[in-house]
Amino acid sequence: MAAGTERKILVAVDEGEESTYALSWCLKNVVTENSKDILILLYAIPPRAVYTGLDGTGYLFSSDILATMERYSNRVAECVTEKAKRVCKEVNDVKVETKVEHGDPRDVICQVAEKLGVDVVVMGSHGYGLIKRAFLGSVSNHCAQNLKCPVLIVKRPKSTNVSNS
Amino acid sequence: MAAGTERKILVAVDEGEESTYALSWCLKNVVTENSKDILILLYAIPPRAVYTGLDGTGYLFSSDILATMERYSNRVAECVTEKAKRVCKEVNDVKVETKVEHGDPRDVICQVAEKLGVDVVVMGSHGYGLIKRAFLGSVSNHCAQNLKCPVLIVKRPKSTNVSNS
């Protein structure tokens, strides 16, 4: 039934292994073979606020450091989306688009999902790392509550290796 | 890819339209045709604590009333699971099992999912009604945080009718 319709599946990707696992799970379990599905791989570059102090006082960075941080962010974004594209090719040769946006992942995911009118959002449950999560709050939690479309939250089994899952 | 493997898909059903929508969405988008998937429809009969006062003081019911309440609960459970089975037959003739358990839906869903080793849990985002939710807290929220397997939370679009979705 799903095979006949063209679905837009938004997968939130980040640096973590769990997002890779979520993507693989989605490719194996949601994307049907020979489907017309479009997979949109979305990476959000978290705002600089993430790097400010826990006490709310921000650090002042020189423009050099800021430029370096920006270059670093962009390289991470490229690396993450390239890796995700490779996973898609390996598992299921589906039509893939990538999207990189600046902003709080929670907002970015909800906004992009709404704007593109996607059919489902797929994400890991602990995205954006442990440290960042302390600042950002749980991304999956926020999205499950605020997205209007179905949300698939994939937790990576502790004992499972991504390669043989 | 998914078609070859036998997956256990647990769908939490309740009295609400949203759970019917979640089930339909799952049948259309996750269950592939000619698959070996087993759909387990789970209904949790909420504990009697749900009917106690907001201030924590419980009511004392006569055994007559308790027996009537129990009969009512069982009839609701039957009605909900029968309706869910009909939806499955209409949309996708998949192998279906039903399961009715007593207890807080949050615990029941997590326990059954773990015990059966299901591959994914599907649920609406606002199950178990508005009043009950005040007592129970959000079921989907709890499950997304505590389940070890992937969770698909399906929100019912406000403008969509279940029959033509």
Kindly state the percentage of chain B with pLDDT values over 70: 78
**Cβ-defined contact of B155 to A147 (cutoff 8 Å):** yes
* Residue whose structure tokens are 């992009």: A112
- The CATH superfamily assigned to B2-164 is HUPs (3.40.50.620)
- Residue A29 has its nearest CB partner, among B30, B148, B154, at B30
Nearest to A125 by CA among B149, B126, B120, B111: B149
Q: Model confidence over B85-132: pLDDT tens digits? A: 999 988 777 899 999 999 989 999 999 999 999 999 999 987 655 555
Partners of residue B124 on adjacent β-strands: B154
- Report yes or no: B76 at the A interface, CB cutoff 8 Å: no
Token pair for B50: 């749900």
Single-letter amino acid code for the residue at A16: G
**Cβ-defined contact of A155 to B141 (cutoff 8 Å):** no
**Cβ-defined contact of A91 to B1 (cutoff 8 Å):** yes
Band of residue A41 on the pLDDT scale cut at 50, 70, 90:
very high
- Residue B30 has its nearest CB partner, among A30, A145, A155, at A30
Distance from CA of A122 to the nearest CA of B (A): 9
When pLDDT is averaged across residues B47-62 and rounded to a whole number, the result is: 57
Indicate the CATH number for domain A2-159. Answer: 3.40.50.620
How many other C-beta atoms are found inside a 10 Å radius of the C-beta of residue B126? 19
Q: Model confidence over B22-33: pLDDT tens digits? A: 999 999 999 877
Token pair for B18: 């949203």
The more confidently predicted of residues A8 and A156 is A8
Domain-wise residue ranges, chain B: 2-164
Distance CA B93, CA B59 (A): 45
**Cβ-defined contact of A1 to B152 (cutoff 8 Å):** no
Does pLDDT of A78 surpass 60? yes
End-to-end CA distance of chain B: 26
